Structure 1
Amino acid sequence: MLIRLSQTLVALCLLASNTTFALPDDQDKPIYITADSASINDTTGITTYKGNVIIKQGSLLIEAAHVDMHRANEGVDKLVAKGAPAHFRQQQEVNGDFSDAWGKHMVYMVNKKKLTITQSAKVVQGKDTFTGNKIVYDLDKSIVDAFGATSKDAKEKGRVNMVIQPTKKK
């Protein structure tokens, strides 16, 4: 347990040195959605998109087989994307690189700018890669928390994998 905690802290410290933030004006741009079908439920505030779903808003891109869009009074509150895998991409403010995420199930809390990826989760931030059974990615703070599989059926129980590239000195 102590080893896992120290590994997580080391990874977070390494990430903090490479801090990048999502483009601040993405949320102020219109949302463009294409899909094979859509079902809007005004009572629940949930719109379901199915079949080759593509959502774009500024530099943000979500591609999935199925997306449930949850709306609140303030606009879109949550997106739940499913795919084999679903894909999330957003350009970063500081260096212009893109952060990409893949997983079979994603929940994006729009106002909190927090993406939770489960089932074959992977995040690529710049040249660094993080994989695990579950990844929680705080896009606003550029913090990645990765968790290994916990079930008895998992091939590598409790393991996450990180590839952190060295930074070149100028």
Structure 2
Amino acid sequence: MSPTTSLALPSDKNETIRGSADNLTVDQKNGVATYTGSVKIQQGSLIISADSIVIHTNPDSSVEKMIATGNPARFQQQPEKDQGIVTAAAKQITYTPSNEHLVLIEDASVEQNGAVMSGPHIDYDLVKEVMKAAGNNNSSGGEGQRIEIVIPPKAGKAEDAQ
């Protein structure tokens, strides 16, 4: 095993959260910080970039949730040292660090190791590695948005024979 420079998800929560933005508004009484304009938040391997990110904190100053909005907002994190980076995009991404949960709303997609899931709504439990996606039934008679899944073939089998 060679050492890796990327941090695994279990260590991310112990890292310092760093952020940059064009503007910042902090409401200390309600525990809400609003970052706007080319926002980037990083904590270890976790990176969220968006047009705006609202961070809600608990009374102990820990992060309760982050709500990122953009066209699209983007999330990425490496779950484990030996796993590929998970990338997600949607118009709105809500990340809850306490249970490591992502909710992606509108034009949502999640990609890892070449496999892609996309649809109007994706709910992703990063700990249990369980993804739930919901299509959009259009009741006005038009066609609704469906879930799309792309799973690439396992590489190496045909190449190994040569």
Normalization by structure 2: what TM-score? Answer: 0.85
1:122 aligned residue (109, 113, 116): 109
Q: Is the 8 A contact 2:108 2:122 kept in 1?
A: yes
For the pair 1:113 / 2:93, whether they are aligned, the reply is no
Match of 2:119 in 1: 132
Q: Which amino acid counterpart does residue 25 of structure 1 have in structure 2?
A: S
What per-residue deviation string (whole Å, max 9, x for no partner) do you get for residues 44-81 of structure 1? 10100000000000000000001100000340110000
SS of the aligned residue for 1:25 comes to helix
Match of 1:14 in 2: none
Q: CA RMSD in A?
A: 1.9
SS of the aligned residue for 1:24 comes to helix
Q: Is the 8 A contact 1:87 1:100 kept in 2?
A: yes
Match of 1:26 in 2: 12
Q: Is the 8 A contact 1:147 1:158 kept in 2?
A: no
Q: Is the 8 A contact 2:31 2:59 kept in 1?
A: no
Cα distance, 1:94 vs structure 2: 4.7
C-alpha distance in structure 2 between counterparts of 1:27 and 1:154, whole Å: 46
C-alpha distance in structure 2 between counterparts of 1:28 and 1:35, whole Å: 23
Match of 1:35 in 2: 21
Which structure has the greater CA radius of gyration? 2
C-alpha distance in structure 1 between counterparts of 2:103 and 2:20, whole Å: 23
**Which structure dedicates a bigger proportion of its chain to helix?**
1
Counterpart mapping for 1:49-68 below 5 A: 49-68=35-54
Match of 2:3 in 1: none
Q: Flag the 1:162–1:156 CA change in 2: closer, same or farther, 3 A.
A: farther
Identity %: 34
SS of the aligned residue for 2:9 comes to coil
Mind listing any 5+ residue stretches in structure 2 that lack a counterpart? 1-7, 158-162
Q: Which amino acid counterpart does residue 103 of structure 1 have in structure 2?
A: A
Cα distance, 1:153 vs structure 2: 6.7
Paired residue total: 149
Cα distance, 1:127 vs structure 2: 1.3
Instruction: Tell which has more relative contact order, 1 or 2 (C-alpha 8 A, sep 6+).
Output: 1
SS of the aligned residue for 1:28 comes to coil
2:128 aligned residue (138, 141, 144): 141
Q: Which amino acid counterpart does residue 58 of structure 1 have in structure 2?
A: G
C-alpha distance in structure 1 between counterparts of 2:49 and 2:30, whole Å: 23
Mind listing any 5+ residue stretches in structure 1 that lack a counterpart? 1-21
C-alpha distance in structure 2 between counterparts of 1:122 and 1:61, whole Å: 16
For the pair 1:150 / 2:115, whether they are aligned, the reply is no
Normalization by structure 1: what TM-score? Answer: 0.81
2:76 aligned residue (73, 81, 89): 89
